[in-house]
Amino acid sequence: ALDHYDRAIQLAGENQYIQEEALANELAGRFWLGRHKDDFARLYLQRAREGYAQWQAFAKVKALESEYPQWFAPGVTPPPPSALGALDLDSVMKAAQAISSEMELDRLLGAMTRILTENAGAQAGFLLLERAGEWVVEARSEVGKAQVEARQPVGTGQRELVSPNTVRFVSRTRELVVLDDAASQGRFVDDPHVQRQRTRSLLCAPLLSLGRLVGVLYLENNLVTGAFTRGRVELLEMLLAQAAISLENARSYHALRESEANYRRIVSTATEGIWVLDACSRTTFVNAHLSELLGYSAEEMINRPFSDFMLPEELADHRRRMKARRRGVSESYERKFRRKDGQVVWALVSGTPIFDGEQRFAGSFSMLADITERKRAEQERERLLIAERTARQGAELAMRRLAALQRVTEAAVGGLELDKLLGEMLDGIVEGMQMDTAAVLLVSDDGAWLEARAARGLEEDAEQELRLPLRSGFAARLAAEARPIRWDDVQHAEVLNPLLREKGVCSLLGAPLLASGRVIGVVYVGTLRPHHFDDDEERLLQAVAERVATAIERVRLQEAAEHARAEAKVARRFAKVSEDFARMISHDLRAPLQMITVQAQALERDLAREGVARLGGRARAIVSSGERMNSMLGDLAESARLESGQVRLARRRVALKPFLVDLIERLGAIFDCRRVVLEIPEGLPPADADPDRLERIFTNLISNAFKYGGEDGLVKIASSDHGRWIEVSVADCGPGIPEDLLPRLFGRFTRGAAPRVEGLGLGLYITRLLVEAHGGRIWVRNLPEGGCRFTFILEKARMPSPDQGAEAASESGT
């Protein structure tokens, strides 16, 4: 390491790098101190102190004296001399002359940066100029390296060349900034560039010319602190003044050269052509620009008449102007010429007469400027003006239509009554689309007519409650085809509405009113003048139709909701009545009936003991009638409970086959169950049902089949798997059900027409209520071969969880 220090000291001294020589001596002295060789250390540090003093780094000299007072006697540090006294004036003059002698801007920037960097004792120097509001590094100089041009805006990346905060501060305040140790003290200690580079000595100075900021000089020395001494700063200030002047001169020279170049460029690229004619309008001279304009060479144009290059329609005007030229008239006008390639060009002609010494007309001198592009631009401008006017009108129309759609939308959600709502919507349509007539027709309840509900321009339609058949005509086509239709030219023979014919409506546009894919009416507009409806108008009317249909459905749903609430209120009242009725049946009627039945049974037993057979038969008739009466009262009570919602189902997993086998065995005491045929497939999933209620459903249907199925007919019970449902049917071989009875078969008190059928007609009604309580439905169909089939569906039971397996297995045989 010591060899390297000595080599660095030697090379720095040979090349007169005072600061590097002093620094190498200081580092070598500290090296010997670390090895406790104080004599060697003192020798190197004394040389370092002398070098710093020669470099005028007096702050560094004082630092060494303070750190090693045992080796440096106090007070021997020479005071900082006057800057001008310490300067090498010859060097200053040479530097200033070198700066002022350069006029080429780019070379000046490089030379200036290098000279200022060297004379300030900096490691690196940067010259910054302002471009488009940003400070840009224009030139860069580093000791021992060739100069390079940076052209990097300040503060634009992670590797800035300079401290952006320092540059902005100097450009704003125009103050000189000198920092002896920028990384550890001063206002820019937190600057990212300073922290990253660990900058020591920093100098940033403004370049001012007549008080105006023309640039910023930025210098750094990262080898030592306090590199920029007062003397060097004063030297730098002198050079900066000359540098600012030279920079302004170079800029002015650069601008002048650019101006001259621009002028030559303008002259060389001018589009004016020169055309000289003799007294007979023959060409005597043309310049290169005119030749290029018309596509001929000068030789091809000389001695040819002016009219050879004109369009035929321009000749009459040319002769008139040439007569004026003979009278001494100068004028400017526009003229069309035909090029050699056949294209037409426009030119602005400035013509002046030529007279000889005796004031005789000798010809004319004209300058021609190519205005073809301008004429095209004028034509394009006219086209754009027309397009802009059309676009503005279109925008106004779109705004008007948008406002109409907004008005229709607000009416649709405004909660108005239907007639007021439709009227408000039609007002918006007529105003927004600028129509003369508009109407809304709704499909009648029977689906055979279109009835006028609201109209504008056709108010008589609504007032007279116009009805149009849904078989022909414009409105009927709209409803039938369920799509918008345009009639730009109305054929009145096809229009069924007499008012449209009387008013002379010329054009019609209509759209269907669709709700859930169903046509509920139509809306159409019309004009009393021929009008071509465009796609935008069609889309607007479609949007209006959607909102009208939505509004109508909303009003109808509100009316339906109000009706439902009224029905619900009635239903609640009826449920209360049904509940009271069920209670009356269960207690007030059945209690006396049971007493009659019990007494009749006792009477029958007494008469049987006494052997009075004739009276015993009558007693049995009383008991049988009481039991039937009790059964009918039970049906009434059951239907009342179902209607009032009092019945709660106890659902379980029910395997239908074992369930039906068990039920049929128990019904064998009442019916000839040998006639019952079960068609239940193996593996049919269990149903989710209340076993007691399910037994009532099957009992009613089987009983019904035996009642109406004939004496010897079979009763067939079948079941099948249908996704989430299990379908069950009970069929008989009877005469079937009259067609007029089918729609009301599951209603209250409906009885078949078979003889000797007893009961109130509540069996199938109760069956339907029980099926619906299970979430299913029931229906009936007559069979082609005779008899009828009752079918109902039940939900499948859910798959049991593992811990419910045993329970499910036990229930499967229910």
> What pLDDT is recorded for position 612?
60
Enter the DSSP assignment of 588: I
Cα gap 137→152, rounded to integer Å: 5
Q: Compute and round to an integer the Cα radius of gyration of the chain.
A: 57
Beta bridge partners, 220, equal 124, 202
Answer yes or no: is pLDDT of 749 > 70. Answer: no
Taking residue 642's Cβ as centre, other Cβ atoms within 10 Å add up to: 20
3-state secondary structure (DSSP) of residue 154: coil
- Cα 331 to the center of its chain, rounded Å: 61
Contact between 465 and 451 (Cβ < 8 Å) = yes
Lateral strand order in the sheet of 518-527:
467-469, 449-456, 437-443, 518-527, 507-515, 485-487
pLDDT confidence of residue 779: 94
Place of tokens 């940003």: 134
What confidence score (pLDDT) does residue 340 get? 93
Q: Which amino acid is at 286?
A: V
Instruction: Label the pairing between strands 715-722 and 124-131.
Output: unpaired
Contact call for residues 247 and 209 (beta carbons, < 8 A): yes
In the beta sheet, which residues pair with residue 209?
212
Is 677 in contact with 715 (CB distance < 8 Å)? yes
Region of 413 please: left (phi>0), alpha (psi -120 to 50) or beta: alpha
Strands 485-487 and 507-515: antiparallel
Measured between alpha carbons, how far is 79 from 62 in angstroms, rounded to an integer?
11
Q: Cα–Cα distance between 368 and 346 in angstroms, integer?
A: 9
Structure confidence by residue, pLDDT tens digits, 400-412: 777 777 777 777 6
CA 358/CA 312 separation, integer angstroms: 34
pLDDT tens, residue by residue, 284-333: 998 888 888 999 998 999 999 999 999 999 999 999 999 999 999 999 99
The structure tokens 């100029």 sit at 129
Displacement of CA 349 from its chain's centroid (Å): 56
Confidence of residue 89 (pLDDT cuts 50, 70, 90): very low
Q: Residues 547, 409: contact at Cβ < 8 Å?
A: yes
CA distance 404 to 652: 60
Residue 67's pLDDT band (cuts 50, 70, 90): confident
Task: Pick the closest to residue 91 from 231, 218, 205, 224 (CA basis).
Answer: 231
User: Residue 347 forms beta bridges with which residues?
Assistant: 335, 370
Residues 6+ positions from 655 with CB-CB distance below 8 Å:
684, 686, 811, 812, 813, 814
Structure-model confidence comparison of residues 359 and 501, the more confident one? 359
Name residue, tokens 């010809």: 363
Task: Give CA–CA dist 2/7, Å, rounded.
Answer: 9
- pLDDT of residue 239 exceeding 80: no
* 3-class secondary-structure state, position 134: strand
Instruction: Judge residue 734's burial from the number of C-beta atoms within 10 Å of its C-beta, 0-12 exposed, 13-18 middle, 19 or more buried.
Output: buried
Does the pTM surpass 0.85? The reply is no
Rounded Cα distance, 378 and 152, in Å: 44
Query: Is the pLDDT score of 691 beyond 90?
Result: yes
